[in-house]
Chain A
């Protein structure tokens, strides 16, 4: 697994330069609760050799709004909708309610819940 560190401000620029639909495919978006910060990871896989997995990682505080990559990768809306409900982060143009019921306590995957 190859890690590439990036930030929220450079996210769209980095992924836009990197992603080409003939060479890479988007696997999933993930978030890990590290205590005070949350680490976000975007995983991409190769179509051609050497078939490795590339992860773009960024660390944020929980109240920042994260840009959405659906303009570059159209099928990423499912992963983003899931994380908005389960880890209680904010992503642009994505609303809650895809996974959990409205009266359920949001963010069950955070530590301490």
Chain B
């Protein structure tokens, strides 16, 4: 048997965007097994939300769990708090929440794709994708007032309205972006050197994905059609605005890039449908009730299924809040996906998994 070496890819590494730590056991550069350490940025948010903050202020605290999927956390918390105080939000607020969630999905997928290109060595593509993403950051600043921390969903509705000139700006930029996206799909799909680095890297099969309960584009690239937008229509009407599920077979880093690119097309169509059909109504439902009972909510963040559980006890402060991030479910599958690969492809594989450790170790 060949000699086994243990190599760490540590919490600080030149190619990692997130603070995670893997320790690989390798034989002649092929990875045999892995262990992980993921709790570097644990901040105790669940404890703070149940002692220091009142339930209406918690939506601002929870939006700071993650910088990329901030709107998913605030919307999911607002939905679970609305279930606890038993109110319904107006129709315009629902569609505005969906609009910002889809714009956020586009910018998050473009960030992940640019990171995959950077770790595969293709720095020109990294810069090009980031340039296209800049247009969406300006759009989000026009809609929400800020580029990264939106503070858009509050308990009872949404904080800001969509002005007509901003709606025109969104439609104009989406038209311009379509040809740019076609160019990106052409490069990610057909570039020979990118394919050499990404094909068969970090592959999992559909049976593995089902056995390990994988969520998000990671699962959809392996052939498992699981998406919360397909499954729950009672709180936000996804299928009505034109949602279609995207799957691929293959399960490797190449398929994951293609799933993310095709999801951007679906998101663009949903944004156009929402702007063309936005109903007129109020923005916030006022109420003076206190939260009571327990409730659960699931929502589709850009990386997978986000789950919230909350319990109230008729006072201003919640009794228990539990957050489950999408990367939390994917940890076991990430460790299995490394097996059989060479140690040199590890940065490209980690980038294609798209981990978000701030959500995981809140």
- CA–CA, A43 and B323, complex, Å: 12
Closest Cβ–Cβ distance, residue A30 to chain B (whole Å): 5
Closest Cβ–Cβ distance, residue B107 to chain A (whole Å): 27
- CA–CA, A46 and B228, complex, Å: 11
Residue from A30, A77, A98, A99 with most neighbouring chain B CB atoms (10 Å): A30
Contacts of B232 in A (CB 8 A): 51
CB-CB contacts below 8 Å: B299-354 with A: 305, 307, 309, 311, 319-320, 322, 324, 328-329, 331-333
Q: Do A30 and B42 touch across chains, with their CB atoms under 8 A apart?
A: no
Residue from A25, A77, A78, A98 with most neighbouring chain B CB atoms (10 Å): A25
**A1-B295, A1-B296, A51-B231 known; A30 vs B322 contact (CB < 8 Å):** yes
Q: Do B324 and A74 touch across chains, with their CB atoms under 8 A apart?
A: no
- CA–CA, A100 and B182, complex, Å: 46
Contacts of B294 in A (CB 8 A): 1
Closest Cβ–Cβ distance, residue B336 to chain A (whole Å): 10
Contacts of A43 in B (CB 8 A): 296, 307, 309
Encode contact with B along A18-35: 1 for CB under 8 Å, 0 otherwise. Answer: 000110011110101100
- CA–CA, A1 and B324, complex, Å: 16
Q: Is A45 in contact with chain B by the CB < 8 A criterion?
A: yes
Partner of B210, one of A22, A27, A77, A109: A22
**A32-B319, A51-B232, A77-B332 known; A25 vs B226 contact (CB < 8 Å):** yes
Partner of B322, one of A28, A78, A108: A28
Partner of A75, one of B42, B226, B320, B332: B332
- CA–CA, A73 and B154, complex, Å: 36
Q: Do A74 and B319 touch across chains, with their CB atoms under 8 A apart?
A: no
Q: Is B11 in contact with chain A by the CB < 8 A criterion?
A: no
Closest Cβ–Cβ distance, residue A99 to chain B (whole Å): 5
Q: Do B210 and A73 touch across chains, with their CB atoms under 8 A apart?
A: no
Q: Is A69 in contact with chain B by the CB < 8 A criterion?
A: no
Q: Is B298 in contact with chain A by the CB < 8 A criterion?
A: yes
Range, interface on chain A: 20 to 34
Q: Do B329 and A27 touch across chains, with their CB atoms under 8 A apart?
A: yes
Partner of B332, one of A45, A46, A74, A98: A74
- CA–CA, A25 and B39, complex, Å: 24
Q: Do B213 and A99 touch across chains, with their CB atoms under 8 A apart?
A: no
Contacts of B211 in A (CB 8 A): 21, 74
- CA–CA, A24 and B361, complex, Å: 25
- CA–CA, A78 and B206, complex, Å: 21
Q: Is A53 in contact with chain B by the CB < 8 A criterion?
A: yes
Contacts of A77 in B (CB 8 A): 332
Contacts of B210 in A (CB 8 A): 21-22, 25
Encode contact with B along A30-64: 1 for CB under 8 Å, 0 otherwise. Answer: 10110000000101011100010101000000000
**A45-B298, A53-B296 known; A73 vs B213 contact (CB < 8 Å):** yes
CB-CB contacts below 8 Å: B43-68 with A: 44, 46-47
A-B contacts, 23 listed (Cβ < 8 Å): A1-B295, A25-B210, A26-B213, A27-B213, A27-B305, A28-B322, A28-B328, A28-B329, A30-B322, A41-B309, A43-B296, A46-B231, A53-B298, A73-B213, A74-B332, A75-B333, A78-B328, A78-B331, A78-B332, A99-B39, A99-B42, A99-B361, A100-B39
Q: A residues bordering B, Cβ < 8 Å?
A: 1, 21-22, 25-28, 30, 32-33, 41, 43, 45-47, 51, 53, 55, 73-75, 77-79, 98-100, 108-109
Q: B residues bordering A, Cβ < 8 Å?
A: 37, 39, 42, 44, 46-47, 210-213, 215, 226, 231-232, 294-296, 298, 305, 307, 309, 311, 319-320, 322, 324, 328-329, 331-333, 361
